[in-house]
Amino acid sequence: MRHILKIPIWLGVTSLLINGSPLRGESLGLSEAVQRALNQNPLVRATAAGGEASRAGLKEARSGRLPSVDFSGTYAHSNNPVFVFGSLLEQGRFSESNFDPAYLNHPGALSNFRSSLDLRIPIFNRFQVSSQIEKAQIQEGQASADTAWVQQQIRFEVIHTYYGVLVAEARKEVAREAVKSAEAEVKRIRDRFDQGFVVESDLLAMEVQLADFRQQLVQAEGEERTARAALNTVLAQPIATPEILGGQLEDRRFSVPPQAELVQLALDNRPDYKRSEMDIQLARQDLKSSKGQYWPDLNVFGQLGHSTQSFANGSGDFAVGARLTFKLLDFGRGARTDQLSAASEAARAQEQHKANQIQFEVVKAYQSFLTSQEKLNVAASAVQQAEEALRIVNDRHGVGLTTITEVLRSQTALLRARLNLLAARYDYYLGFAQTLLASGLLTDVTKLAS
């Protein structure tokens, strides 16, 4: 539903700003602003990098099931009897003369270069690799949840700052038109004062009113510059970038599901709540990995070796086998398991706390939305009443039935009512967006874009 309020000429610019201006040319719409923020905002890039890191972590975890191959090379020169005896055997140069006790006990120094290629194939690793893979998959899901939640928050910030600029523009135009109207009124009253038709107090009162309107204009101009800086910050562009906004703060009505349904939707859709659920899964995997320490480790291995003295010849060898490792005694194993059990219980408690917090956020946003709706209705009625009051006072003043003070009071009341309507409409838009965000439903802005 769209509705253009009847307002005096000196407030007409505001109506155009709120209900659609024919003066806007090439402009930035809300949907385009959101897309620009999602493409450029550093928080989105940071969460995207976190997603890349989690996917790389999953690849690393899965590699734990694959064979590993190592190459090593060692050069040694020594006259240690054991080293010399073993090196001669490895090099295939052992002969009968080497059995001489004098040689065995006091051999000359020998050089040996040993190179080897070692293959290791994991068979069973106490559930360590499977737990790491499960954790990496969960962390990948958490990264996706982080990205989705940041994107919803970015959308809300764009809505907040985008319409904040529109409201600031409208307030500035209201203040500017009020100043122009007051300046014209001061000139008119001064002329009538010079002609002796009004007293000096009327002229002074109008000049005070003009000064007050000028102060409001200065304040409005500063608020508009601040609002634009906030929007540019969210869009991750230079803070002084000028933007012509094509959005409109129209008189619209939004609908949301009942509060109880919103709470359930939030628990089903909020990415940050899903992340807390995944924290419980991570704690379970840590506990599973800890309990796996009671199981043995089994690996198959193979080795190709080559030993030589001069690099031109030498002897090769190989070895294959299996290695079973069972940690018989580990006094800290039980304590670590108990620690991770406590961490798992803490994760469940944190998840419940998060659920309670989300329910409160939904209730708060929903009630705020309902309140803003009522305030908007009251503000719209107040503008109509202020307009009618000003018309009546102007008519009475024109025939000398009331004072200039009443006229000034009525003009001020209308200005205040109109600004209150702008604020109420802005709060209504934000209340709707906040309700969607609290429910985890702010996945696009089509319902808010004009």
Q: What is the mean pLDDT of residues 362-380?
A: 94
Range with the lowest mean pLDDT among 134-148, 171-185, 265-279, 361-375? 171-185
Tokens representing 264 are 């359930």
Q: What pLDDT sits at residue 196? A: 83
Tokens representing 302 are 């193979």
d(CA 9, CA 95): 117
pTM of the model: 0.78
Q: What pLDDT sits at residue 450? A: 63
d(CA 123, CA 127): 11
Q: What is the mean pLDDT of residues 393-403?
A: 80
Q: What is the mean pLDDT of the chain?
A: 87
Q: What pLDDT sits at residue 166? A: 92
**pLDDT tens-place string over residues 164-218:** 999 999 889 888 888 888 888 788 888 888 888 778 887 888 888 889 889 989 9
d(CA 424, CA 445): 20
> Domains of the chain (ranges plus CATH)?
9-72+125-297+332-438 (1.20.1600.10)
| Helix 128-194 vs helix 12-19: crossing angle, to nearest 10 | 160
- Statement: residue 1 has pLDDT above 90: no
Q: What pLDDT sits at residue 233? A: 94
Please give the biggest Cα pair distance in the chain.
Answer: 141
**pLDDT tens-place string over residues 246-287:** 888 888 889 999 999 999 999 999 999 999 999 999 999 998
- Statement: residue 50 has pLDDT above 80: yes
Q: What is the mean pLDDT of residues 422-447?
A: 93
**pLDDT tens-place string over residues 21-47:** 333 447 899 999 999 999 999 998 899
At 66, the pLDDT band (50, 70, 90 cuts) reads: very high
| Helix 200-234 vs helix 128-194: crossing angle, to nearest 10 | 160
Q: What pLDDT sits at residue 228? A: 94
Q: What pLDDT sits at residue 410? A: 84
Q: Is 426 or 182 the better-scoring residue by pLDDT?
A: 426
Q: What pLDDT sits at residue 189? A: 82
Tokens representing 330 are 């580990």
Sign of CA dihedral 151, 154, 160, 165: negative
Q: What is the mean pLDDT of residues 223-241?
A: 93
